[in-house]
Amino acid sequence: MARKDSFFGRLAESITKFSGSTAAFILAATTVLAWAITGPLFKYSETWQLVINTGTTIVTFLMVFLIQRAQNKDSLVLHLKLNELIAATKGASNRLINAQDFSEEEIRLIHEFYCLLAEKAKQDNDLGETHSVEEAEDNHHEKLAVHRE
């Protein structure tokens, strides 16, 4: 598949990759060291201090957005891969496809659903046997009926 990223997309990805590299760390450390060494030359003036403060503030401000952009992309790709696994796995609940788009209330309800499923599985002494609350309840009732006989 051909990549058709925008110029900004390619630039942001390149900067993000570079910023996590050893070379970027060495560049940053060298910059701070050079600034520190020039302190006596500038008599540790307020302007000398302002240079490093302003520089680091600007770099930090811009990096926050680049890092968030990269994290958003990584998160979306991860969700797509998980959605593919859910869609391709027999017995998996398709209710969870695109769960990242659910409201907090929907997520809480689904969490409660899986807590109930886990509790049913514990009662049956088999954590891997069932795939839905309905199946768990049916299996639980069947086992109870067998034990009562």
Position 122 confidence tier, pLDDT thresholds 50, 70, 90: confident
Place of tokens 């630039």: 11
Position 29 confidence tier, pLDDT thresholds 50, 70, 90: very high
- Digit-coded pLDDT (tens) for 76-98: 999 999 889 988 888 777 878 88
Averaged pLDDT, 1-7: 71
- Enumerate long-range contacts of 59-64, CB under 8 Å, 24 or more apart: 63/19
Q: Would you state the pLDDT for residue 3?
A: 62
